Chain A
Amino acid sequence: MEESREAQKYLDASTRQLIWWRYKKHALAMIGLYLIVGLYVFSMFCEFLAPYSKDTRHFDMTYASPTKIRLFDDEGKLKRPFVREVKMDVDLKTQQIRYLEVAGTHYPIRLFVRGDSYEFWSLWEGNLHLFGVDAPGRLFLFGTDRMGRDLFSRCLYGSRISLSIGMFGVALSLLLGLVLGGVSGYVGGWVDSLIQRTIEVIRCFPSIPLWMGLAAAMPPHWHALKVYFMITIILSLVGWTDLARMVRGKLISLREEEFVLAARFAGAGHTRIIFRHLLPSFTSHIIVTVTLAIPHMVLAETALSFLGIGLRPPITSLGTLLKEAQNVTTIALYPWLLIPVAFVIATVLAFNFVGDGLRDAVDPYSR
């Protein structure tokens, strides 16, 4: 019997390929995947992608609104994108600071410009930025904050911290969840009961007060980096329970599967059964749970920092950025300070889309 090429491709496929083919059909999940990859690339190379460093202060440009990018010059001719020089001015009637463009000035946006120097990943120094304008022209895509720092650059730096806290936090939860859930499911008996009851107790705590309590217990003189790691640990101490339950449930159902029994009858030991049969059967489920757990971590970090008990300046995260936008005046007068919210929403949505798509794809054998 001759098999068509199409059928042959399907028949030869591994589980991973089947999952990927099925995932690709899910349009939203693909959008989510591109978004996530984009966000992580942005945050990885933020020193290079951001036109300014996160702490560069432009004293004459506090609370500057987003710079207008122009395409037509005074004669109405199409030019490559450029900005005009902006000068601070005080409205004498309202005593409000406003920024006025200086007519006739013309600073084209250029690629690969030299600007603020930075230390890339503490590995090497550089001052090359993807784009920028020559002084005294300035390019603030998202405006500036109360100290005249470029919000766009700060958003990129902030998502680096927020996204990485999501990753590390989940990695830590994963470790805890895998070990405790694995022991619970594989050993069973009173060990299982003990771990399960502990999980129930942990889940009973209202999470925000718990985080607040733990975060408040941190000495205020600690270095910002130490605070960052402690926050990660606090978040994952609460976050591992879901994973542990998932792992336990999967282990219990898989342990009774006939193919596991077959391996046992073939003479395979515990190690081989766990690593060759059990783990590979639910790695995809773990990935789903992890993708759905990361946005929770991001949100939790944002919430804590927004409340002022999470990360503290000088560490820049999406949460500390939003802290700037805590009062009504700021929002009414400088609405661009809310832009970091868009990053939070994009991250959370993207992860949820990816998680949904994966959940539908992980079991390629169900029709």
Chain B
Amino acid sequence: MTDSDVLLEVRNLKKHFPIRKGVLKKVVAHVKAVDGVSFSVRKGETLGLVGESGCGKTTVGRMIMGAYRPTEGSIWFSPPNGKPPLDLASIDPGDMRELRPHIQMIFQDPFASLNPRMTIREIIGEPLIVNKVARGEELDRRVHELVEMVGLQPQHMSRYPHAFSGGQRQRISIARAMSLYPALVVADEPTSALDVSVQAQIVNLALDIQDKLGLAYLFISHDLGLIRHFSNKIVVMYVGRVMEYAPAQNIFERPRHPYTEALMSNVPTTRPELIGRRIVLRGETADPINPPPGCPFHPRCLYAEEVCANVVPPLAELSPEHQAACHFSRELNLTGCDALGCAV
């Protein structure tokens, strides 16, 4: 792969939300929601972004979508029309409007993300209308096509969202995201609000569409087992920082960070004799306002030593494309999903 295949490149991305207090709204502290995250997504591939809730993965997604301005860092996006990459972190609103059609989002909550007062036709057609892509009969035809593509019945297009189940609503949400044939889709936990039986359907639908349209996904999830099957690369985040970043195969074979290992050991297993080896993390997730010194994971880490509490481990390159932020990633022999017989 050459460099021109890179669709999205995130470099040292930071987002610190100020906490204001008092009458004068003085800034007393910062929530370091995202604190130095870097990764890249190539055209047509899927990057899985995992971590516990509150680790900043949604904030990363929202910054890429332009909902928040990053405090620091850059987000380079290469438009599919061959123009040079643009930095979304400092882009002006006019240019952003032009890029909108290429970056779309699937939301987590299918009940909050569809306007209850619009019909399915209006919801799916909205991106086409506001970007002046289609109207009139052409619009109808395109919406019809999209509805069929996501496996819904076209005769229900004039219904309102309340008439659909969670899974169906998520299909509508997908159809809306796909309406402009984007190059990148940020999927923010698209299955976590759904029944387990429906989750697989939605994931499969997303993958089918990826095959058809050749788009790239930034798939945000807290479930390693779920994204294992279709992610090319995986970023593991903890309290706003990247703990491990590697191709999916490498990471599941042999994780190089204790946090990744802990996450993997909690994926349901097909080998009941290994259940006893599940790592139950002590304590709470670190406070992003006041993260612990040294490695942010050290208070909960099974392998922590003195150095971990004092020195922040850098994100070190262990092999080409495999990075981990742990002082002992070379020494430790951690078990991955493959050895644990993860069920999914």
Residues of A within 8 A of B (CB): 10-15, 18, 257-259, 261-269, 272, 276-277, 280-281, 364-365
Q: Which residues of A contact B159 (CB under 8 A)?
A: 11-12
Q: A12-B159, A12-B163, A267-B127 are in contact. Are A280 and B105 (CB under 8 A)?
A: no
* A-B contact list, 24 entries, CB within 8 Å: A12-B159, A13-B160, A14-B117, A14-B119, A14-B160, A15-B116, A15-B162, A258-B107, A258-B108, A259-B116, A261-B107, A261-B113, A265-B66, A265-B103, A265-B105, A266-B131, A267-B97, A267-B130, A268-B126, A276-B118, A280-B117, A281-B116, A281-B117, A365-B116
Q: Which of A262, A268, A281 has the most CB of B within 10 A?
A: A262
Residues of A contacting B173 in the complex (Cβ-Cβ under 8 angstroms): 262
Check A266 against B126 for contact (C-beta < 8 Å): yes
Q: Is B171 an interface residue (CB 8 A)?
A: no
Q: Any chain A CB within 8 A of the CB of B101?
A: yes
A266 touches B127 (CB 8 A): yes
Main secondary structure of the interface of B (DSSP, over half): loop
Determine whether the beta carbon of A15 is less than 8 Å from that of B105. no
On chain A, the residues within 8 Å of B131 by CB distance are: 266-267
Instruction: Pick the residue among A11, A263, A265, A268 that contacts B163 (CB under 8 A).
Output: A11
| B109 partner residues in chain A, CB cutoff 8 A | 258
User: Is there a chain A Cβ closer than 8 Å to B196's Cβ?
Assistant: no
- B325 CB, min distance to chain A CBs, angstroms: 31
Contacts A258-B107, A263-B130 aside, 18 further interface pairs with beta carbons under 8 A come to A12-B159, A258-B109, A258-B113, A259-B112, A261-B107, A261-B113, A262-B113, A262-B114, A262-B173, A263-B115, A263-B126, A264-B67, A265-B65, A265-B103, A267-B97, A267-B100, A268-B130, A269-B130
Q: Which of B105, B126, B173 has the most CB of A within 10 A?
A: B126
Residue of A nearest to B127 (CB): A266
B158 at the interface (CB under 8 A from A): yes
B176 within 8 A of A: yes
Asked if B104 is at the interface (CB within 8 A of a chain A CB), the reply is yes
> Which of A13, A18, A267 touches B101 (beta carbons < 8 Å)?
A267
Tell me the smallest distance from the CB of B331 to a CB of chain A, in Å: 44
Which of B97, B103, B119, B176 lies in contact with A262, CB distance below 8 A? B176
- Shortest CB-to-CB span from B4 to chain A, Å, is 26
B162 touches A365 (CB 8 A): yes
Write the B89-130 contact mask toward A (1 if CB under 8 angstroms, else 0).
000000001001101110111001111111100000011001
* Choice from B100, B108, B119 contacting A266 with Cβ under 8 Å: B100
Interface size on B, residues (CB 8 A): 32
- Residues from chain B with a CB closer than 8 A to the CB of A10 are 163
B126 touches A18 (CB 8 A): no
Please determine whether B162 and A18 come into contact, CB atoms closer than 8 angstroms.
yes
B158 in contact with A259 (CB, 8 Å): no
Residues of A contacting B105 with CB < 8 Å?
262, 265
Q: Which residue of B lies closest to A17 (CB)?
A: B160
Question: How distant is the Cα of A263 from the Cα of B123 in the complex, in angstroms?
Answer: 9
Contact of A266 with B116 in the complex, beta carbons under 8 Å: no
Contact partners of A266 in chain B: CB under 8 A? 100, 104, 126-127, 130-131, 176
Min CB–CB distance B112 → chain A (angstroms): 4
Chain A residues positioned under 8 Å from B126 (CB to CB): 263, 266, 268
**Inside 8 A of A258's CB, which chain B residues have their CB?**
107-109, 112-113
The distance in angstroms between the C-alpha atoms of A15 and B160, with both chains bound, is 8
Chain A's closest residue to B186 (CB) is A265
In the A-B complex, the 4 residue pairs with the smallest Cβ-Cβ separation, listed nearest first, are A11-B163, A266-B127, A267-B100, A258-B113
Name A16's closest neighbour in chain B (CB-CB): B117
Bound CA–CA A262/B108 (angstroms): 11
Which B residues between 113 and 158 are near A, CB-CB below 8 angstroms?
113-119, 126-127, 130-131, 156, 158
Chain A residues with CB under 8 Å of B114's CB are 259, 262
Query: Chain B contacts of A268 at CB under 8 A?
Result: 126, 130
Cα A264 to Cα B108 with chains together (Å): 16
Q: Considering the chains assembled together, what is the distance between the CA atoms of A258 and B113 in angstroms?
A: 5
The answer to whether B67 touches A259 (Cβ under 8 A) is no
Give Cα A15–Cα B114 distance, bound, in whole angstroms: 13
Nearest-neighbor residue (CB-CB) of B156 within chain A: A11
Q: Which residues of B contact A265 (CB under 8 A)?
A: 65-67, 100, 103-105
Residues of A within 8 A of B160 (CB): 13-15
Inside 8 A of A257's CB, which chain B residues have their CB?
A: 112
Given known pairs A265-B104, A266-B100, the reply for A15 and B117 (CB within 8 Å) is: yes
Distance of A266 Cα from B162 Cα, bound (Å): 22
- Interface pair A259/B115, CB less than 8 Å apart: yes
A12 touches B130 (CB 8 A): no
Chain B residue at minimal CB-CB distance from A13 = B160
Q: How far is the CA of A364 from the CA of B163 in the complex (A)?
A: 12
Minimum C-beta distance from B253 to chain A (A): 36
In the complex where A14-B160, A267-B130 touch, is A262 in contact with B100 (Cβ < 8 A)? no
CB-CB under 8 A from A281, the residues of chain B are 115-117
A233 to chain B, nearest CB (A): 34
